[in-house]
Structure 1
């Protein structure tokens, strides 16, 4: 999604909705399946972090 938005200026909600709809329409089923299958492990991580869902990573 970040690549699809790079350099794009959206001037309305309708423009954003159109871009998002086009982006999602072009994805294959595996795109969604992969994300859904990752949910249980991501939820487990959130529980293990006492509800903190953002992890900050510092690259040195």
Structure 2
């Protein structure tokens, strides 16, 4: 938090800048403060989870 990446809103931690994680499971402990594989926790703009959304490759 000292380096200005996170903002403590009192009820959650908010990222103040873009930050790329290598996997959904890597982001979960940082952003959710708990263990999670991220496939059901992260949702797209339409509300679909990563587990429901087909994977896109570049």
What is the TM-score when the length of structure 2 is the normalising length? 0.24
Greater relative contact order structure (CA < 8 Å, 6+ sep): 1
What is the TM-score when the length of structure 1 is the normalising length? 0.24
| Structure label with greater radius of gyration | 1
